[in-house]
Structure 1
Amino acid sequence: MSHPSFEIVKPRRWPWVVAGVAVLAAAGLAWHLYAGQAQAVTFGNTLKVHFEPAMAGEERLINYVAEHVAPDYGLKLEAVGVQDPVQADRAVAAGQYAATVYQHQWWLKQVVDANGFQLTATVPVFQWAFGLYSDRYSSVQALPQGAEIVVPNDGANQGQALWLLQRIGLITLDPAVEPRTATLKDIRENPHGFVFKELDLLTMPRALNSVDAAIGYVSQFDAGKVPREKGILFPPAPKTFASQLVIGTPYLQQASIAKLQQAFADPRVQRWLAETDDPRVKGVLVPVSAN
């Protein structure tokens, strides 16, 4: 979720949830301490893959691959939870973990631009279901003139929210701006007079009853005990926001890492996402879309 300047608020959890500027700066300053060391790491056939501890669906996905897919590629996988996503990226870049699955390419770009981590997005693994929720209205069409709508306060996910609104014809963004990187200042037409409020994703569920609508991830609203019935629009997730298997760039050519990419690209993974009844996954992590 180019971002030459952005503020990141340190989370207790999750992907599109951001980490503090201080953490980013500290990680960037520390990069030189392990950049050389990263080149020396050689992975075997037992690989650690990071997930966000608060996002049980990610762990279930890694465990599915570990049990049903990875053995066919000669791999043993271990799911490892690390709460701070930026520190997890640092660990992947340093070769402490083989990969992480939590982030889409736009969020990864923010982290890399801020820290200089050597990371590469490889296989698109799943989409985080994303939608519009309301405590007050049962459809998008019912939103009144001047409705107050909450959008994410981080650039990577605010772009996704505004692009959603443009795709359904509610606003128009500056055509000179890549819509997936748009911010509120890039809104050119707002015929319904919507009033936009920025909040971090963790705060949205608690704020829903005080605004007309909020746009964010199903996982966040689930975690905040907001019923799915409060969701008034769940558009197909564009592939550009698919969560990626992110790997440390120096290790891409290693045999075990190549096999890891093959395992996560195995068609069984997408089939499981489409068919599973696991409540931590169904409707939260969805198959990668075609476009």
Structure 2
Amino acid sequence: MTSSNFGHDHGFTLRRSRNVLPWAVAAIATLLAITLAVLLVHDRSTPAAAAANASKSKFKVHFEPAMAGEEKILDFVAENIAPDYGVSIEPVGLQDPIQANQAVASGQFDATIFEHQWYMQQSAEAAGVELTPTTELYQWGFGLYSTRFDSVAALPQGATLLLPNDVANQGQALWLLQREGLLTLDPDNEPRTAKIADVAKNPHGFKLKEADLLAMPRMLDDVDVAIGYVSQFDAGKISREKGILFPQPPRTFASRLVMASDYAQTPDGQKLIEVFSDPRLNEFLESTEDPLVQGVLTPVSKD
């Protein structure tokens, strides 16, 4: 009997251990898991934390080969900024903007610096990819050039103005003309993507023509004014003395560090954004005397 009672009591004690102890352990484990998850979410919610967790150390960043100043910017970042963040930057040039954006979207390149958000929308749609404009980098000098007149005020009634033929840059040219009071755009349309057909008032009777940006320098003698990027007129051997107006570029047309939309949210993407947001890039743009950059690629304007 004693032996039987002992055996019975022993079995009861063991059964209680099997029910209570695992339950307590499971409860503690659950609480720990929840706490860890909250900490991880908080850690990942800040760009700095995400950047600290980045796994890549080498990034390929695209530039437009025809824009020599863009390569100079990447060289500066690669030599003077990136090492302080523990990464390296490899500049890569690809002439075709559609292929370049496809390469960014596919992960062949980590980012590109050659476009503003309006051109990106146009180009990404043409390429059938999803891209995201992130931090602002610089602005392209944009001007009115003429071999016939010394100022905008000297332009005669009915002067011929040559504008870029792509939607994004034509919008910039038209918006600048409106800001200078030379014409008025249809207020019902988005001015940053305006087309010649959107001109509502043309008090000077300007004849507005369009051409490829790269063709403008060689077409300058055939028109009264050509409107485009300083870099392209420099490349076409057109002296800046032929520039009759260099208005401050609107901030909305600033170059952006453009990435694949999903990549921009990753720790690696956040790290790259951090590198290109470093204030030393703006200081370089303000102080450089490099003729490929000075007056060609300028600091981001305030408005």
Do they superpose with TM above 0.5?
yes
DSSP 3-state at the match of 1:245: strand
1:286 corresponding residue in structure 2: 298
1:194 partner letter: F
Q: Which has the higher helix share?
A: 2
Which of the residues 60, 83, 101 maps onto 2:95?
A: 83
Alpha-carbon shift at residue 55 of structure 1 (Å)? 1.2
TM-score, scaled relative to structure 2: 0.81
| Structure 1 Cα separation of the partners of residues 201 and 268 of structure 2 | 50
1:230 aligns with 242
Contact 2:98 2:127 survives alignment (8 Å): no
Give the Å deviation of 1:210: 1.1
Aligned counterparts, 1:159-174, within 5 A: 159-174=171-186
1:75·1:256 contact (CA, 8 Å) conserved in 2? Answer: no
Matches within 5 A, 1:207-226: 207-226=219-238
| 8 A Cα contact 1:43 1:254, kept in partner | no
Contact 2:97 2:123 in 1 (8 A): no
Provide the rounded CA distance (Å) in 2 between the counterparts of 1:252 and 1:161.
30
Q: Which residue identity is paired with 2:302?
A: A
Give the partner amino acid of 2:148.
R
**Which digits, 9 at most, give the CA deviation of each residue in 1:73-107, with x for residues without a partner?**
11111001111111011001000111000000011
1:1-291 alignment runs, 5 A limit: 44-291=56-303
Helix, strand or coil: the match of 1:47?
strand
Query: Following TM superposition, by how much is the alpha carbon of 1:112 offset from its aligned partner in structure 2, in angstroms?
Result: 2.1
Distance in 1, matches of 2:151 and 2:84, equals 46
- In 1, are the aligned partners of 2:98 and 2:126 still within 8 Å (CA)? no
Q: Return the alpha-carbon distance in structure 1 between the equivalents of residues 223 and 160 of structure 2.
A: 6
Deviation at 1:43, TM superposition (A): 6.3
Give distance in 1, aligned partners of 2:268 and 2:197.
45
Contact conserved, 1:126 with 1:285, CA < 8 A, in 2?
yes
Q: Which amino acid in structure 2 is aligned with residue 178 of structure 1?
A: E
The offset of 1:290, in angstroms, is 1.1
2:282 maps to a residue whose letter is: Q
Contact 2:98 2:124 in 1 (8 A): no
- Cα distance in 2 between the residues matched to 1:252 and 1:171: 39
Once the two structures are TM-superposed, the CA of residue 212 in structure 1 deviates from its matched residue by 0.5
Amino acid in the other structure paired with 1:252: A
CA distance in 2, matches of 1:129, 1:113: 26
Structure 1 unaligned spans of 5+: 1-41
Q: Determine the C-alpha separation between the residues in 2 that align with 1:260 and 1:243.
A: 15
Question: What is the rounded CA distance, in whole Å, between the counterparts of 2:285 and 2:122 in structure 1?
Answer: 27
**Cα distance in 2 for residues equivalent to 1:184 and 1:54:** 26
Partner Cα separation in structure 1 for residue 136 and residue 199 of structure 2:
29
Distance in 2 between residues matched to 1:236 and 1:166, nearest whole Å: 13
> Which segments of 5 or more consecutive residues in structure 2 lack a partner in the other structure?
1-53
Paired residue type of 2:243: G
C-alpha contact 1:43 1:257 (8 A) present in aligned 2: no
TM-score by length of 1: 0.84
The percent identity for this pair of structures is 60
State the distance in 2 between where 1:136 and 1:43 align.
56
| Larger gyration radius, structure 1 or structure 2 | 2
d(CA) in 1 for partners of 2:55, 2:230: 35
Amino acid at match of 2:91: A
The CA distance in 2 between the partners of 1:253 and 1:176, in whole Å, is 34
